[in-house]
Amino acid sequence: MPYVYPTVGQIERRLRNLVPAHPNICKIIILPASNRTHNGRQCIALEIAGPNILDASVRSRVGVLFTGGVHAREWAPPDILLNIAKKFTQAYSSRSGLSFGSKSFTATQIQSIVNNKDLFIFPLVNPDGQNYCRGPPRTAARLRWRKNRRPLPSGSVGVDINRNFDFLFNFRTAFHPSAPVATSDVESDEIYCGSSAFSEAESKNVGWLFDNLTNIRYFVDVHSYAGEILYSWGDDENQTGQPNMNFRKSTYNGSRGIAGDAYREYIPSSDEITARNLATAMGNAIRSSGGRTYTVKQAFDLYPTSGASDDYAYSRKFVDPTKPKVFAFTIECGTRADGGYWPRRDRMLIILNEICAALTQFCLSI
């Protein structure tokens, strides 16, 4: 029996249905009408906090944002985030623990997460893209669709949302000409970055969450597939000794993106330790859930990028010191052997346990 992934409409309905089922701890966040997608969709996210979500003090807690469904063809992440929202709310309300494969969490731990954190879950950032990807008709080209669905001047369609955030957006200036940057300014390419940072409704929605939910201090963007957990930075190798060598300095334009050369991206030593430790905690939880090992590494070690959500989230504090620091991560769930972007039923059940265990442990570790 194949795994049945929820449709775009089902994702929204299931998210909304958690509110009447758990009204004391769940609330829908409606993203701005001005950020409707090309196909007219107004997106929603879910907030989870106990024991009374209407208590204004909830927003003084540490906020955690989980996003998924940025890339249309990645069907697993939205379902994973729906599952963890359902599991957290049910376990909290019933005062029970949770088990994900062989990894278990006590009722006390779940109560602690919901009563002491402010959780924001945005499971489907790119609904237009995923709706198109799923068809009908279900063609190979549609099935592999990555971008959103906004028509472009050239006649091509779509922008890669995870290249549209405001981090080194002008990659041709920022990076070395020989750097293998996984970004494109060609409209027909599947990694096309858009005409400008935040040109797309989908990236604007994520940006709005950071701008308006100012207690967010941690961010995990769930993707597929590679079996990896990534932490900042994604533009070059990290270094902790030269604060003035950083993405804000135009002096280093044309130097970024080459491994082993003189330029490296500055990250405070304490931040790098924190990021690596949190990524490792997620990796350990995955291993405990079923025995598989996800590789923990700096995002640059996957490939150099610009305009990615994780680097944007972490960079905000460096660009504007009045903004809070946000530790940001990307999980690439599953592997090609699982079925790639569309894991088979037996493998998807394993992936659900892995990533739900990782995100639960993440909430306990911060």
C-alpha span between 350 and 331 (Å, rounded): 15
C-alpha span between 19 and 84 (Å, rounded): 15
- DSSP secondary structure, 312-327, as one string: HHHHHHHH-TTSPP-E
**Superfamily designation of domain 8-365:** Zn peptidases (3.40.630.10)
C-alpha span between 18 and 21 (Å, rounded): 5
| 223, 332 Cβ separation under 8 angstroms | yes
Name residue, tokens 């024991």.
51
Q: Note the pTM of the prediction, 2 decimals.
A: 0.97
- DSSP secondary structure, 129-165, as one string: HHHHHT-SS--HHHHT--S---B-TTS-B---GGG-S
> In a structure prediction context, what are the per-residue pLDDT tens digits for the chain, which is 366 residues long?
789 999 999 999 999 999 999 999 999 999 999 999 999 999 999 999 999 999 999 999 999 999 999 999 999 999 999 999 999 999 999 999 999 999 999 999 999 999 999 999 999 999 999 999 998 998 999 999 999 999 999 999 999 999 999 999 999 999 999 999 999 999 999 999 999 999 999 999 999 999 999 999 999 999 999 999 999 999 999 999 999 999 999 999 999 999 999 999 999 999 999 999 999 999 999 999 998 999 999 999 999 999 999 999 999 999 999 999 999 999 999 999 999 999 999 999 999 999 999 999 999 999
